[in-house]
């Protein structure tokens, strides 16, 4: 299996100094995770396309954009065009995930499908050949700093089984409450990409926190 990816979430960083926050983890992290929330799909509001466009120019680290928005068909391609490496939209918000994934790939990005806490993964397993990333929420989407839900690991196991059975090249990402205390069980269940907000930006040395998480995820 490919080596684990650590994607620090700037949701837990100081929004007045986003470029500094990204520079803090450059070299240590593989991707930077950008949480876009619209106060509609989730009851919280963060940032959007203009911020991503500006931040893109400030760093070379790949952007892992997580769209917690309604109507992703309207907005997701703009993030691909802005240079995002991976653009993930929510299954609950999308009528035709395969079509949107195709659009994102045509725009030069990897396509990700996210499954929120209350959504079963089973109906989406057959879509795995059409996406590059499958994101399993290990909390309810909307806020950083929540407690990791080990119950979600059953979904991770199901997805990993299917990826193996079909020999697919899909990143299996987990998001929510990932820390030094929880990352090993997520890796054990089969995740190979890990979002961490509080565990990275709440640490005195964010780059060192990333390196620690990576070491724990490598098995």
Residue among 35, 132, 158, 192 flagged as catalytic:
35
| Placement of tokens 């299917």 in the chain | 162
Residue among 30, 116, 158, 175 flagged as catalytic:
175
DSSP string, 88-144: EEEGGG-S-HHHHHHHHHHTT-EEEEEE-TTS-SGGGGGGGGG-SEEEEESS-TT-S
| Placement of tokens 């991976």 in the chain | 86
Could you say which DSSP state residue 62 is in?
P
Q: Does 145 bind ligand DX5 (CB under 6 A)?
A: yes
Burial 21-35 (b: 16+ CB within 10 A, else e): bbebbeebbbbbbbb
Report how far residue 113's alpha carbon sits from residue 128's, in angstroms, rounded to the nearest whole number.
9
Q: Does 25 bind ligand DX5 (CB under 6 A)?
A: no
Smallest distance from the beta carbon of 41 to Zn ion, in angstroms? 12
Q: Does 173 bind Zn ion (CB under 5 A)?
A: no
Neighbours of 56 (CB within 10 A): 16
Smallest distance from the beta carbon of 177 to ligand DX5, in angstroms? 5
Residues 193-212 that bind ligand DX5 (CB under 6 A): 195-199
Burial 152-187 (b: 16+ CB within 10 A, else e): bbebbebbbebbeeeeeebbbbbbbbbbeebbeebb
Smallest distance from the beta carbon of 68 to ligand DX5, in angstroms? 6
Residue 196 interacting partner from Zn ion, ligand DX5, none (CB closer than 5 to 8 Å by kind): ligand DX5
Q: Does 66 bind Zn ion (CB under 5 A)?
A: yes
Q: Give the residue with the Cβ less far from Zn ion, 46 or 217.
A: 46
Strand partners, 177: none
Smallest distance from the beta carbon of 164 to Zn ion, in angstroms? 25
Q: Give the residue with the Cβ less far from ligand DX5, 186 or 195.
A: 195
Site string for ligand DX5, 155-194 (x = CB under 6 A): --------------------xxxx----------------
Site string for ligand DX5, 79-118 (x = CB under 6 A): ----------------------------------------
Catalytically annotated residues: 35, 175
């Amino acid at each position: 299996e490919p080596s684990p990816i650590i994607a620090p979430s700037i949701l837990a960083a100081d929004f007045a100094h986003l470029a500094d926050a990204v520079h803090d983890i450059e070299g240590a992290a593989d991707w930077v995770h950008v949480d876009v929330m619209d106060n509609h799909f989730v009851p919280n509001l963060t940032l959007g396309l203009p911020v991503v466009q500006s931040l893109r120019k400030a760093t070379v680290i790949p952007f892992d954009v997580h769209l917690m928005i309604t109507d992703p068909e309207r907005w997701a391609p703009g993030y691909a065009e802005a240079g995002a490496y991976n653009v993930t939209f929510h299954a609950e918000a999308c009528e035709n995930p395969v079509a949107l994934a195709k659009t994102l790939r045509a725009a030069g990005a990897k396509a990700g499908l996210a499954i929120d806490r209350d959504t079963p993964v089973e109906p989406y397993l057959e879509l795995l050949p059409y996406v590059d990333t499958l994101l399993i929420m290990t909390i309810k989407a909307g806020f950083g700093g929540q407690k990791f839900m080990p119950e979600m690991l059953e979904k991770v196991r199901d997805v990993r089984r299917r990826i193996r059975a079909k020999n697919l090249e899909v990143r299996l990402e987990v998001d929510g409450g990932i820390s030094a205390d929880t990352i090993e069980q997520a890796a054990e269940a089969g995740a190979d990409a890990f979002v961490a907000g509080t565990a990275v930006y709440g640490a005195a040395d964010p780059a060192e926190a990333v390196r620690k998480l990576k070491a724990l995820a490598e098995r």
